[in-house]
Amino acid sequence: MSATVERSLPSAAVDLLQGRSLVAGRAEGELLFADMGLSFWGGVDPFSGEVIDRHHPLSGQNLAGRVLAIPSGRGSCTGSSVMMELLSGEHAPSALVLAEVDEILTLGVLVAELLFQRSIAVLCIGHEAFAQLRGQAYARVDGERLQLYPQRPADARPTGVASLAEQRPFSTQLSLSEDDQALLDGAQGKAAQVAMQLVLRMAELQGASELLDVTQAHIDGCIYTGSASLRFAEQLVAWGASVRVPTTLNSISVDQRRWRALGIDAAFGEPASALGDAYMAMGAQLSFTCAPYLLDSAPSEGEQIVWAESNAVVYANSVLGAKTLKYPDYLDICIALTGRAPKVGCHLDEQRKAALRIELPALDGLDDAFYPLLGYHVGLLCGSRIPLICGLERAQPTLDDLKAFGAAFATSSAAPLFHIAGVTPEARDPQRVIHSGATLQTEQVSHADLRRSWDELNSAREARVGLIALGNPHFSFSEFAHLATLCAGRTRHPEVSLVITSGRAVLEQARAAGHAAVLEAFGATLLNDTCWCMLGEPVVPTNSSTLMTNSGKYAHYAPGLVGRSVHFASLAECIEAACSGQASGRLPRWLQPAFPVENPTHV
């Protein structure tokens, strides 16, 4: 969408911009601007409002009371939960100004309105107008209008979160089935009624005119971000919530069976475990995995589903060929409670086409570190555009490679889908994913480009390693088998922890095959239910300042989430470090032909 310039204002104000109000409201405050999308999960501390994404230009800034201007969100679906936590306290921005509609952040505001009667204005002004915000110091939002100032105006009265005296009246223009209307009228209880209201509000925001049936759901809202996330789930249970489609649960924030033995503080462990229980009380399955595509219930090509969790969404769309949006936390459970989803976006074939072509250089000697690194780099290039990646036609990436690519891609981009020419199902014939007659913008990726992203993920400056963090996303059976081969007959360094996260079902398979016994003999700790984006001390050793991982996703998030610098490398390099206590710093073969880069940062 685009904004319009209405008129020039007297005084110190620049032109008045008008856009689309996603959540109505008035607010003003210091303008906090960045031209890079921000994942609120892993990027913003929900209890302080500080930007903790150490790769983001706003790192270290505080959102509280400021008008935040970002092009969009990116990364995790849990951003909606973090936004709701901020709004339940005193650390939220006073308003959010976007270049494009962001469902994840907006949904967090809508849920906070419903639960806490607290809200902020959310305004979308389009990319052209958004560029005019650069260099401005102060902003006022009034419904669809945005007024900018080059310095703080004399009559400034900064605002905070708005308290609502009553709920906004609900109405919808969508075409509803008889069953939809019954749910909206409360025929199936309060929980389903409220869920349908939220589904319809988001459907209108997304531009849908009707809803469609889904066959299954995967819930990401079971991650504990604070007391507000538990209150939301328990309120649904109190209202009699019951899922209408088969529903799996994402990783929760603790290993539910072992968190006490692991030394997790009860003040965190008890509510985090209770949150998982609340979703199971609604009828969801005890799956607790961020890789639901590894379960027997994984959807088939063309199946209409509602999945949240960014890596799972990307894998489902791209590798399985199922159809889902990148659903925000809380909208996922609302759709599970109604069985109905907005008929828009990646649910529609025409919305699954590529908008950007990525050309790769000639590459040789690829290892498993290549795919997460490439996914991270491609995500940075894409923003919210769906890419078609060319140059891997003969590489034959495994499902584990595609899992790692997708997780890193979903971390650095806002897109719900990627295509790899000759590899992913819809792009086996690349012309199928290009609109007829369209000429795609092309981005050329060089070895030097990949080296820069390698240096960005390798934030550690000391060779010593205290933790090897594996399983983000959760380990597959084939990854367990490969790791057992790497560890068999070797000795772990006594000062290095090796921790692997996985789903319960996959770990049972690994135990039956003998792989788990090999890893435990090596000294590995095997955790279920939770994943690295939710783990902190003491699982992350308190005396360790660096960690090592083969996950592009965790290499990005760890510096902000746990305050550790990161060595990123292949699985084999991780085990070498687990034995020696030192990261080798060796570049993989596929990066060695790289052209020299200016001021290289990783040695």
pLDDT tens, position by position, 68-82: 999 999 988 899 999
Gyration radius of the chain's alpha carbons:
23
107-144: pLDDT as tens digits: 999 999 988 899 999 999 999 999 999 999 999 999 99
Q: Which of the following is catalytic: 21, 39, 59, 76?
A: 76
Please report the pLDDT score of residue 172 as a whole number. Answer: 87
Q: Could you give the 3-state DSSP secondary structure of residue 378?
A: helix
pTM: 0.90
Place of tokens 């925001």: 205
Q: Are 487 and 518 in contact (CB under 8 A)?
A: yes
Place of tokens 């310095």: 151
Mean pLDDT, the chain, whole residue set: 94
33-57: pLDDT as tens digits: 999 999 999 999 999 999 999 999 9
Which of residues 437 and 396 earns the better pLDDT score? 396
Q: Which domains does the chain have, with CATH numbers?
A: 15-166 (3.50.30.10), 178-348 (3.30.499.10), 353-455 (3.40.1060), 458-589 (3.30.499.10)
Q: Are 364 and 587 in contact (CB under 8 A)?
A: no
How many CA atoms within 13 Å lie on the side-chain side of 505? 17
Residue 76 is a catalytic residue:
yes
How many whole angstroms separate alpha carbon 336 and alpha carbon 196? 10
How many whole angstroms separate alpha carbon 538 and alpha carbon 466? 12
Task: Place 437 in a pLDDT band, splitting at 50, 70 and 90.
Answer: confident
CB count in 10 Å sphere of residue 377 = 24
Q: Which of 312, 184, 159, 586 is nearest to 325 (CA)?
A: 312
294-314: pLDDT as tens digits: 999 999 999 999 999 999 999
DSSP assigned state of 43: T
> Does position 550 have pLDDT exceeding 70, yes or no?
yes
150-168: pLDDT as tens digits: 999 999 999 999 998 777 7
The mean per-residue pLDDT over the stretch 483-491 comes to 97
DSSP of 557-596: HHHHHH--EEEE--HHHHHHHHHHSB---PPPGGGTTPPP
